[in-house]
Amino acid sequence: ASQGLQYPARIAAKAWVELPMPAAFRLGIGWDVTPTFALHAQAALIRYSAVQDLVVTLQSADFAQPQLGLGDTTAIALARNWVDTVEAELLAVWRPSEGLRLGVRGGYHSPMSPDSTMDLLSIDGHRLIGGLMLRKAFGGFAVSGLVGGHYVLPRTVVASDYDRGNGTYTLTILHANVGLEWRW
């Protein structure tokens, strides 16, 4: 303020975050154990260590300070220092009749955020995943559904540079997907 820089107490702004997509190495294998039962396994290495920071861009007329040469847009780089992760998943599929498939999915994903960069923007930890799958074929059409969840095990953080309160983080995500296939 001594140099003329003055912002309103509250600023409304548009914000967007650029999330670089890290490289992923995946390996999967499937095995028809019997004519009615199959197993599918997948393992992955995700190179999150390539993401050093997330850039948050904010735009608001309230940021503009033309007398000081400042525009209406600013960017903030939030250090992430993420680490590489591993994933392991298993899918068991039962085919009780022609055109009907029922499946159960389970797996584990390791965390990408170190304690030092944990905050509400990157709730992360050891993740357990599970789901149920149904697929029914009708000639050239098929309808499929998947319900599942991701559960981040409780993680107590005491050394975050961004969450001054630190504390225990946990997260549960539930999802449902429906798909329609048409083959010609």
* pLDDT (tens digit per residue) in 83-106: 999 999 999 999 999 999 999 999
How many percent of the chain have pLDDT more than 70? 95
pLDDT value at 163 more than 90: no
Report which DSSP code applies to 2.
Answer: T
Contact yes or no for 90/40 (Cβ under 8 A): yes
Beta strand 24-34 with 100-109 is unpaired
| Residue linked to tokens 């861009």 | 57
The chain-wide mean pLDDT, for the chain, equals 89
7-33 average pLDDT score: 88
End-to-end CA distance of the chain: 68
Q: Tens digits of per-residue pLDDT, 62-85?
A: 888 777 778 888 888 888 888 999
Q: What is the dihedral of CA 113, 119, 123, 126, to 10 degrees?
A: 40
Contact yes or no for 5/69 (Cβ under 8 A): no
Q: How far is CA 18 from CA 52, 54, 129, in A?
A: 12, 6, 26
93-122 average pLDDT score: 90
Q: Look at 73-82, 123-132, 160-169 and tell me which has the smallest mean pLDDT.
A: 160-169
pLDDT for position 130: 98
Centre a 10 Å sphere on the Cβ of residue 112 and count the other Cβ atoms it contains: 22
152-165 average pLDDT score: 83
- Cα–Cα distance measured from residue 109 to residue 92, given in angstroms and rounded to the nearest whole number: 18
pLDDT for position 2: 60
Contact yes or no for 169/163 (Cβ under 8 A): no
Q: 89, 85, 84: which is closest to 28 by C-alpha?
A: 89
pLDDT value at 1 more than 70: no
Cβ contacts of residue 120 below 8 Å, gap of 6+? 163
